[in-house]
Amino acid sequence: MMENRAKAFVTPHTDLGESPLYRAEDDTLHYVDVLGQKINILQLSGNHKRHIIDCPEPITFLAFHRDGGYLICSFSSIVHMTDDGHWTVLKQVFSDVTKERLNDAGIDALGRLWYVSAYDFDLKSGIISNRRLVVTHNKFDGEFDGLLTDANGDLYAFIWDGGAVIKYSSSGKLIRTWDINAARVTHGAWVGPKLDKMIVTTAKRSDSKAGWEGEEAGALFYVPGETFIGLGKHVFGESARNK
């Protein structure tokens, strides 16, 4: 194991951790275990107490909803789920999830859900155009999974089967790499009162075997060694212009 790999601050507990989401009001991290069909709510201050909400389907994306609770993408549908676990399907997208399913998504500054390369984006009209390639990877192991941006426009790619977080400029120039003590790095979230820290979610291997001695697959990690300038996540149904 490489000695400079970031070590977990919460030990392995998810089969496929994904879609981390920070709430500043109570200093909590909300994230899903896709295969475990759970939402985890972790208190970041204190002793890292964790609350779990069970879901009736695997879920791949999580956002806060204007009316409370969460806006969720399950394998098949877009769902509103209340804080007490009540599940309301807003739109069924796929009927046979063995053939195709929803994966990641995002909320824009006007509170709209996108589940869809890089495009030019007109916020008012919601029109995307000028598709272009920003970053390619052929110099390291693994595949791109989640993507995060900071207030400077820099990109952070989370590398599945590569055990890393990679920072790029908005033009695609490699800036920095952080090694994580889990091969399957999935996504990240800006956390803290100033959104200046990053937490990373990870997944276990399908055979549940460690890739190396001491691997912490399925754990949570802080990315060390840098003070970030993060961005808050938008809320579904709520325009950032009204804040």
Where is the binding site, in residues? 145
Catalytic residue flag (residue 161) = no
Q: Which of 15, 33, 145, 154 is catalytic?
A: 145
Q: Which residues are annotated as a binding site for a divalent metal cation?
A: 145
Contact 154, 138 (CB under 8 A): no
Burial of 163 (0-12, 13-18, 19+ CB in 10 A): buried
Spatial neighbors of 17 by CB under 8 A, at least 6 apart, are: 31, 32, 33, 34, 40, 186, 187, 201, 202, 203, 218, 220
Range list of β-strands (E), the chain: 8-10, 17-23, 28-33, 38-43, 50-54, 59-64, 70-74, 77-81, 87-92, 106-107, 113-114, 118-122, 127-132, 143-149, 155-160, 164-168, 174-179, 184-191, 197-203, 220-222
In whole angstroms, give the CA distance from residue 207 to residue 191.
Answer: 31
Length of the chain equals 243
What is the b/e burial string over 57-78, where b = at least 16 CB atoms within 10 angstroms of the residue's CB? bbbbbbbbbeeebbbbbbbbbb
User: Catalytic site residues?
Assistant: 145
